[in-house]
Amino acid sequence: MSDVTSTAGAPALTPARRWLVLAAVSAGLLLISVDMTVLYTALPTLSADLGADASQRLWIINAYPLVMAGLLLGAGTLGDRVGHKRMYLIGLVLFGLASLVAAYAATPQMLIAGRAFLAVGAAAMMPATLSLIRITFTDEHERGIAIGVWGTMAMVGAAVGPIVGGLLLAYFWWGSVFLVNVPIVLAALALAAVVAPGGSGGAERPWDLLGSVQVMAGLAGAVYAIKEVTGPAPDAMVAFVALAVSVTGWWTFVRRQSGRAYPLIDFALLRDPRILIGVLAAAMAMFAVAGVQLVLTQRLQLVLDLTPFRAGLVVAAMALGALPVGITAGALLSRLGTRPVIGAGLLATGAGTALVLVTPHAPLSWTVAGLLLAGAGTGAAMTAASAAIVGHAPEHRAGMASSVEEVSYELGSLSGVAILGSVLAAVYTRTVVPPPGAPAGTVEGLDEARAIASGMEGDAAAALLEEAVRAFDNGYRATLLIATVVLWASGVFALLYKRRAVPEEAPAQSSGT
């Protein structure tokens, strides 16, 4: 390998500059991932301060991944058109401005809008980060290491989000969890502007805004339907309408894309089993990580009475397991191949989740051990999934391939929070048996039951809390069991799926260019 590589539309990059590009895009990805989970520990505090109800809390959490997932495909193809460096810099600016809006939100509605604005900046950045790595690192071994670092940053950010939230809440008001983004944005902006390779992209490629709207309609309808069906008082008509909106959004999106010369997603990419397995692995890994982190963080605080900071430290064991394994897996992919690493990683993540499941009343060291194993498996699976998707797509589809991978991450995260969070709530409300005379709010959730018990005396309060914790643990076990089964099934599929790989040039031939 020579010491200098060339990239289209950019001057030759020295080794030092290549790794500085990686540092610049990793900083942006870390911000995006931290903001996915930073509210897990801050949500109770900001809900009390802003007076947010249950529905508003749902959208404060889900507005960010939902809008991001809806815009990612469009942002990736827009990056192919205007240049990935430009998209990354624009995304950083938007993210910084949105952080200020969210930090100083005075109402739940304003905070939801701020979270949606954050998602716009994140959607502009995410495909550009991986595309810039694809352009910058032309050597397969170096690229594997770079993708390993990239994938691990996503895992680390999601894992340290609760720590960041808990630590800031210990000393500052809840808005600080957004305000802390601003100096990191400024540093990443300055570094990327200097070292990232430029390039204007292909000006002939249109941007399909309507396609992004259709994706968001599909996502929003699905999330609302899930929440309505699993709520304490489901409304069949509302759930049906939400589901109809979701189906219509997805159906019109697929039909529209199949007839376009420049689609947001070229479904021919998924005919390559390596890309298909990579997409599945990315989605399933994040499904488990996001869902398990959400329910575990709640249990650590509401059942075990850990502070937000200590709960965040426990959950961060996933990042501790993911960091070294993800980077090591990236360095070994050229020898091992992506499929074995993906399969083994998903099976290991399932084993770690199962260990957390079967030891709920054991010392916390058992939970930490399970999270370390789950993190190691996730780090390996996500690194290999990224390499499988980006490495087997044609270079002129780099932005699209990056978007497909990141949409799979976001869909996994969104569905993990929506489905597993809803399962937790549904099992709780359907199995809790409040003591005679307990207020109706007891059935809403464990946090409400704790608040009610704080105003009661002696045995009555103890009986109420015991019943609420029992029902919560029923839901907790159900969510972890679902996550474990999904991970093991996905790992087996990745290892056994035998569909023949298409020729390398097939995606390029079907691209319409």
pLDDT band at 248 (very low <50, low <70, confident <90, very high): very high
Please give the CATH architecture assigned to the domain spanning 15-198+260-502: Up-down Bundle (1.20)
Question: Which pLDDT belongs to residue 505?
Answer: 39
- The mean pLDDT of 298-319, rounded to a whole number, is 81
Q: Is the pLDDT confidence value at 370 over 50?
A: yes
Residue predicted with more confidence, 278 or 407: 278
Domain boundaries, the chain: 15-198+260-502, 209-259
Question: Of the segments 20-24, 91-95, 139-143, 508-512, which one has the largest average pLDDT value?
Answer: 91-95
Contacts 24+ apart (CB under 8 A), 490-493: 490/280, 490/281, 490/284, 490/346, 491/342, 491/343, 491/344, 491/345, 491/346, 491/347, 491/349, 491/350, 492/343, 492/347, 493/277, 493/280
**Helices assigned H by DSSP within 137-235:** 140-171, 176-179, 181-195, 209-230
Q: Is the pLDDT confidence value at 6 over 50?
A: no
43-89 tens-digit pLDDT: 777 777 777 766 677 778 778 877 887 777 777 677 767 777 888 89
List 236's β-bridge partners, or say none: none
- Map residue 415 onto helix, strand or coil: helix
Taking each helix axis from N to C terminus, what angle separates 273-302 and 308-315, rounded to the nearest 10 degrees? 150
Cα–Cα nearest to 395, from 88, 2, 125, 84: 84
Q: Is the pLDDT confidence value at 366 over 60?
A: yes
361 phi/psi in degrees, rounded to 5? -110, 5
Task: Round to whole Å and give the CA distance between 339 and 346.
Answer: 11
Question: Which pLDDT belongs to residue 502?
Answer: 46
Question: Which pLDDT belongs to residue 81?
Answer: 72
- The mean pLDDT of 173-182, rounded to a whole number, is 85
**Do residues 413 and 286 touch, judged by C-beta distance below 8 A?**
yes
Cα 244 to Cα 217, 256, 343, 415: the distances in Å are 10, 18, 35, 18
Lowest mean pLDDT among 60-64, 355-359, 365-369, 508-512: 508-512
Question: Which pLDDT belongs to residue 98?
Answer: 92
List 7's β-bridge partners, or say none: 10
440 phi/psi in degrees, rounded to 5? -65, -30
Question: Which pLDDT belongs to residue 510?
Answer: 35
Cα 41 to Cα 95, 297, 301: the distances in Å are 21, 7, 9
Lowest mean pLDDT among 299-313, 372-386, 432-446: 432-446
pLDDT band at 352 (very low <50, low <70, confident <90, very high): very high
Q: Is the pLDDT confidence value at 315 over 70?
A: yes
Question: Which pLDDT belongs to residue 94?
Answer: 93
Burial class (CB in 10 A: 0-12, 13-18, 19+), 286: buried
Residues contacting residue 217 through CB under 8 Å, at least 6 positions apart: 245, 246, 248, 249
Burial class (CB in 10 A: 0-12, 13-18, 19+), 170: exposed
Question: Of the segments 88-102, 230-244, 267-281, which one has the largest average pLDDT value?
Answer: 88-102
Task: Round to whole Å and give the CA distance between 375 and 385.
Answer: 15
Q: Is the pLDDT confidence value at 22 over 70?
A: yes
